Amino acid sequence: MAEANKRIVQRHVDGGWEVRKPGADRASAVTRTQAEGIVRAREILGNDGGGEMQVRAADGTIRAQDTISPGNDPRSSRG
C-alpha cells in the first residue's frame, strides 16, 4: 500500500513555522506565521494531488488535521 501524501505544519528551529513532508531532510517551506504555513501546506498538497495536512502547536502536540482534495479522507463525516 502506498504511503499517504502528508505535510506537517510545525515550529521551525530558527523561529517561524515550517511545512515538512515526514522523513524529509529539509522543510518544503518556512513561513513567519502558523496561518501562512497552513495556507502554504494546502497549496503544496493541492498541487501534489491532495493528501493529509497535520498542524502542530508550538509545543509539538497535534492541534488539527485535515484532508486536502482530492485526497482520501479516512472518515466519512464532513469536517
Q: Domains of the chain: which residue ranges?
A: 6-68
For the stretch 20-79, pLDDT in tens is 999 999 999 999 999 999 999 999 999 999 999 999 999 999 999 999 987 555 666 655
1 has a pLDDT exceeding 50 = no
pTM attached to this predicted model? 0.83
DSSP letter, residue 5: P
